Chains A and B, each alone.
Chain A
């Protein structure tokens, strides 16, 4: 449920930057959401649909780029960059261990007009 407040921050940040850039409308908001950021993209989309009303992003689209994490297999030693949080090795079905990445949660860019 914290996606609502995070989306609210994203919209405020977007509007601040749009105003500073002298724009009147935001037509696209692009976010980068890491797989261990603790934020669910579907919930972000839902929050966006509710919160964008009567803002500069009223008719904007939301673009979410999922940022992968790096995993290493405790069985075969393989290293994998994965878009999903999974812990079974795609190669040998051993237990994967998270090495890093995927913590990103940022407003990447705006399309303004």
Chain B
């Protein structure tokens, strides 16, 4: 039965093509009728023919609101809060195992005297990463998301309530290891950093464009394993550039410290640009 008008014998539909340029499958009526059904009561009242409109009251309402408006609003609130406290926030995203925690641990050690930081760590379960970072001289809050595959602005807002920010100039947010979902969620950060290790292959930026597209900095990590990995690093650079034309690209190894100086210098200059 047709939900618009109650008429029967309508072809069911179950496929909605979603390639644009293709018409979206509409409800196919096996018959046509105009705006009103004409009922002729000529038997009862032969001199009186009236038409009553069978009104459907269907109308189109333009909305044009972001589906992420709730998160975006909370993210803006986080951004305003951090700006007011003069804290530069970065959101670090990568696949699981690309070396986010190692990078943050090394970064905290180097930054402690000059750019004191605080850390929010997101994982589905365990506080192991927070424990790894806790003795690096920065306050750390772990967010365990349960089954949620990304951090969102609300989780960050709650984490901020538990984070002593006095005297801190940098907030490092370690997102859940995932190259898909975190792309859609603004946390209120000033900069998104995407980490990709040399073992992940040259094509990763082309396979996961949304997350790389929004990056301000892309870090190629674990460069000590470059030779063994067989990676064509020039090709990886070209592919990153294709998806994120304006991103800074750095190569480093958090374990050996190679390339860490450039990363620390970049953090200082970006923080300075933010008035710190």
Chain A residues at the B interface, C-beta cutoff of 8 Å: 1-2, 6, 9-10, 13-14, 17-18, 21, 23, 25, 27, 31, 36-39, 41-42, 45, 59, 61-68, 74, 83, 85, 87, 95-99, 103, 105-113
Q: Is B66 an interface residue (CB 8 A)?
A: yes
How many chain B residues sit at the interface, stated as a range, is: 35 or more
Partner of A107, one of B27, B65, B149, B211: B65
Query: Could you list 5 A-B pairs, sorted by A, with CB under 8 Å?
Result: A6-B184, A9-B67, A10-B67, A95-B239, A108-B62
Whether B67 lies near A17 (C-beta < 8 A) is: no
**SS of A interface (majority):** mixed
Provide the bound-state CA to CA distance between A95 and B20, in Å: 24
Query: CB distance B4 to A113 under 8 Å?
Result: yes
B134, CB-defined interface residue at 8 Å: no
Write the nearest CB–CB distance from A56 to chain B, whole angstroms.
12
Whether A1 pairs with B67 at a CB distance below 8 angstroms is: no
Q: Which residue of A lies closest to B4 (CB)?
A: A27
Establish whether residues B243 and A61, one from each chain, have CB atoms under 8 Å apart when the complex forms: no
Q: A97-B242, A105-B184 are in contact. List 10 more A-B contacts (CB 8 A).
A: A2-B150, A6-B67, A6-B68, A38-B210, A38-B211, A63-B16, A65-B20, A87-B242, A95-B238, A105-B66
Which of B40-48, B53-61, B100-108, B158-166 contacts its partner?
B53-61
